[in-house]
Amino acid sequence: MAEADKKAGQIRVGEVEISGRAFLAPMAGISDAPFRTIAERYGAALVVSEMIASASLTSGMAEMQRKLRPSGRLPHVVQLAGNEEKWLVLGARMAADAGADIIDINLGCPSKKVTNGYAGSALMRVPDKALALIEAVIGAVDLPVTVKMRLGWNDQQINAPLIARLAEGAGVRMLVVHGRTRQQFYKGRARWEPVRDVVEAVSIPVVVNGDVVDTASARKALAASGAAAVMIGRGAQGQPWIVGQVNRGLTGRGVFCSPDKEELVDVIIGHYREILTTYGRELGVRVARKHLRWYLQRAGIGEPDIRQSSLLTLDDAERVIATVGEMLDFHFQSREVA
């Protein structure tokens, strides 16, 4: 990709145009439609569905259908994981029928549950197998296909450039590289410099991922890797607006400050209500708890105060909403007094 295109923040994935340089990462159990909707509203250039196990998707489970739901006006990117061609192919076709604009193949998930089934980052240990799966998905749908991966399985198997070349040769249109090996999981520092080897190995856009938490770290990641864009994962927990904030910083589209107290309350309560609508009240109140904890922690409220409030054990949705408002009111008032 030409430098001018990078600076302009225009990335083409097949026929899909992406305007911007900061994307929300797929995160299992986190980047569902309600979360993605907020990130999009605040200016993320692209958002990706949480990882979907393709075999489960094709069984028609309601949970998997929920994961296929688009979040808004941005291109709808569905990430699939699996290790069998037939299920990935059927999953890709179902995603296409559900309105997906891009199919992403997961070669990066480090969890034992996924890698023990020889999916996710375990596929980086068998490039030929990974290539066969990629080719099968590309042949099954008339949509651009992308791949998300890690540097390799471990420090002795740094093969991301090799897999990148194989993927590009098969027709993959964009790559995302997390700057850790599978054996690192999320420990240590993400290494952005080795991602440059992937950038130099292919002609398609490469996105750098791992430890990007703000505009400053995004700029460092781009400079070190030479990538076209950044992808933000855990850094967006409790602050889904950070993706848009980084996107504006990288593209020069104005300054965006974090929400003030009133807007923050609106975001949290709106998110909470949307989770209840999406999952139903009984499940929704449990799904929302991790998000509530992250929001309050980002606001500066300590874990002891969160636990003492009983917020994370309440099942009464209206009481939860009232408690969030009370905690934030008290916290911001205390800051003003100080």
> For the segment 310-338, what is each residue's pLDDT rounded down to a tens digit?
888 999 999 999 999 999 988 888 776 55
Q: What pLDDT score does 252 carry?
A: 85
Q: Please state, in angstroms and rounded to a whole number, the distance separating the CA atoms of residues 105 and 249.
A: 29
List of residues 6+ apart from 105 with CB closer than 8 A: 79, 80, 81, 88, 133, 134, 137, 145, 146, 147, 148
Tell me whether residue 109 is one of the annotated catalytic residues. Answer: yes
Q: Is it the case that residue 91 has pLDDT exceeding 70? A: yes
Q: What pLDDT score does 2 carry?
A: 40
Annotated catalytic residue within 33, 47, 103, 109: 109
pLDDT band at 1 (very low <50, low <70, confident <90, very high): very low
Q: Is it the case that residue 305 has pLDDT exceeding 60? A: yes
pLDDT digits (tens, 9 = 90+) for 152-204: 988 899 999 999 999 999 999 999 999 999 888 888 899 999 999 999 999 99
Beta carbons of 88 and 133 less than 8 angstroms apart:
yes
Beta carbons of 111 and 156 less than 8 angstroms apart:
no
Most confident of 227-231, 303-307, 317-321: 227-231
DSSP state of 48: B
The total of other beta-carbon atoms located within 10 Å of residue 68's CB is 19
Q: Which amino acid is at 234?
A: R
Over residues 8-34, the mean pLDDT reads 92
Q: Is it the case that residue 70 has pLDDT exceeding 50? A: yes
Q: What pLDDT score does 8 carry?
A: 57
3-state class (DSSP) for residue 57: helix
How far CA 193 is from CA of 130, 189, 209, 222, 317, in Å, comes to 24, 12, 12, 9, 46
Q: Is it the case that residue 58 has pLDDT exceeding 70? A: no
Task: Using alpha carbons, select from 293, 294, 271 the residue that is nearest to residue 284.
Answer: 271
Q: What pLDDT score does 217 carry?
A: 97
State the DSSP string of 92-154: HHHHHHTT-SEEEEEE----HHHHTTT-GGGGGG-HHHHHHHHHHHHHH-SS-EEEEEES-SS
- Point out which residues pair with 77 in neighbouring strands: 48, 102
pLDDT band at 271 (very low <50, low <70, confident <90, very high): very high
- Point out which residues pair with 24 in neighbouring strands: 47, 232
Q: What pLDDT score does 109 carry?
A: 81
Q: Please state, in angstroms and rounded to a whole number, the distance separating the CA atoms of residues 211 and 235.
A: 7
pLDDT digits (tens, 9 = 90+) for 94-141: 999 989 999 999 998 877 777 667 678 889 999 999 999 999 999 999
- Which is it for the CA torsion 15, 44, 121, 290, positive or negative? negative
List of residues 6+ apart from 71 with CB closer than 8 A: 33, 36, 37, 40, 47
3-state class (DSSP) for residue 252: coil
- The rounded mean pLDDT for the chain is 90
Q: Which amino acid is at 25?
A: A
Give me 182's structure tokens: 């599978």
Q: What pLDDT score does 249 carry?
A: 93
The total of other beta-carbon atoms located within 10 Å of residue 43's CB is 19
Beta carbons of 122 and 110 less than 8 angstroms apart:
no
Q: What pLDDT score does 206 carry?
A: 98
Q: Provide, rounded to the nearest whole percent, the portion of the chain with pLDDT above 90.
A: 70
Give me 261's structure tokens: 């107290």
Q: Please state, in angstroms and rounded to a whole number, the distance separating the CA atoms of residues 178 and 74.
A: 23
Give me 15's structure tokens: 């026929």
Give me 3's structure tokens: 């430098």
Q: What pLDDT score does 4 carry?
A: 38
DSSP state of 50: P
